Chains A and B, each alone.
Chain A
Amino acid sequence: MLCNKLLNLVSKTVQIVPTNRIAAAASSLSIRSFSTPVSQEYVVDNTIAHKKFSDGIIQTVNEAVKTNNRLFAVVHICGKQFKVTDNDLVLIDGYWPPNVGDRIKLQKVLLVGGKDFTLIGRPVLDPDTVEVTATVVDKDLSHTRTNFERIKRKQYMRINFVRKEITMLRINSVFITQNIDNRKDVQEMGRRVM
C-alpha cells in the first residue's frame, strides 16, 4: 500500500514538472546545443580521375615488362623463400616429392621485379600472370653430419651420423605472360577455384 502511494506520488510529480519548465527555459535562455553542428559535405565523385590514374600506372608497368628481358622473383618452395632469376640453382633441404627430370611451375610467387618495376603479392601474385618454371636436376643425400654429444664426468657419449635428402632445382625462366591488369572472373589457384 505504502509502496503504491509512493509510486503515485512520484508519477504525479513527474507528470507535472517537465512541460512548463522546459518551455520557460527555452524562451528565457539562449539554446545550448551539445550535438555536432550541422554542416553539409560535398562528396566529389572522382572515380573517373582515379581510374585514369591507375590505368596510366598499369600501362607504364606493362610497357616496362615488355622492355625488360630478365626478371627476378621471390618464390616459396618447401617452406622456404628464395630469390631467383633465370638459370639459378636452388638447393632444397629435406624431403620433397618431385623426381629428377620433372618440370615444375612454381605457383607461390611472392614478388616479381625488374629494372624499373616491382610487383608485390598479397601474399602471392596471380599464377596466370607470373610464370616461374623449374626443372629438378638432381636428387641426392647431403654430406654426412655428425651429431656428437657428451657429458663430462658422467660416462655419457652418443654419436650419430645423419644424411638428409637434398634436391637441386634449376630455374628455367621467370616470365610475366600477360598484362598485369588482365584478370578472369573465375580464377584457378593450384587446385582451388576462386
Chain B
Amino acid sequence: MVFTTAMMMVRSRGPDEFWRKRKIFKIAAHFSGRRRNCYSIAIKAVHRALQFATIGRTVRKSDMIDLWNTRIRAGCEEHGIEINNFKDSLSRCDIQLNKKVLADLAIWEPNSFKALSDLAKSVSIDYNLPGTEKYDKPTNVVTRGLLKK
C-alpha cells in the first residue's frame, strides 16, 4: 500500500469508508499476512497493538528497575558485597545516587564503582549490618568512624 501524500491523510477524517479504512491500514502496514490487507482482521490487530503500546509504557518502568537491579547486583558480587548491604550503607552515609546511575557506573566506570562498594563495605562493617561477618575490612578505606551518625 502506497501512501502518497500527507494531504490525503488530512482528508481522511470524514465518514467516507475508504478514508476511514485507510487510517487503519496505515497503522497496520507493517503487519504480516492478512492482518495487513483485510480490514476486519486488520482492525482487531491494530486495537491489540495500540493497547499493548499503551500498557508497555508503564510496564517498561518496572522492567528497567529490574534490569538496573540485576546490573548492580552483578557489580556487587564482583566486589564481594551483597546488594542489600550496598544500598543500605550508601543511604546511611547520605549518598543519593539512584539505581540508573549506579548501574551505569557498574558498567562504564568500574573504578568508581569499586570505590563505592569498598566504602559501602566498610560502612556496613561499622554499623554491623546483618551479613557483614564474612566481609574483610577493606584496607584502602579510612573512615575513622566519621561516616557513622
Contacts and interface: CB of A to CB of B under 8 A. Distances in A.
Contacts of B101: 74, 81-83, 110-111
Contact of B96 (A54, A123, A147, A150): A123
Contacts of A81: 97-98, 100-101
A111 B115 CA distance: 12
A81 B97 CA distance: 8
Contacts of B50: 146, 148, 159
Contacts of B54: 146-149
Nearest to A120: B95
B129 interface: no
13 contacts: A50-B144, A72-B109, A81-B98, A83-B101, A83-B109, A110-B101, A113-B112, A122-B94, A147-B54, A148-B50, A148-B54, A149-B51, A159-B50
A158 to B, nearest CB: 10
Most buried by A among B50, B94, B101, B104: B101
Contacts of B65: none
10 tightest A-B CB contacts, nearest first: A148-B50, A123-B96, A118-B112, A122-B94, A113-B112, A81-B101, A83-B104, A118-B115, A81-B98, A74-B101
Interface residues of B, number: 25
Contacts of A146: 50, 53-54
A145 B58 CA distance: 13
B47 interface: yes
Interface string A95-123: 00000000000000011010000101111
Nearest to B94: A122
A111 B111 CA distance: 13
A82 B100 CA distance: 8
B142 interface: yes
B47 A110 contact: no
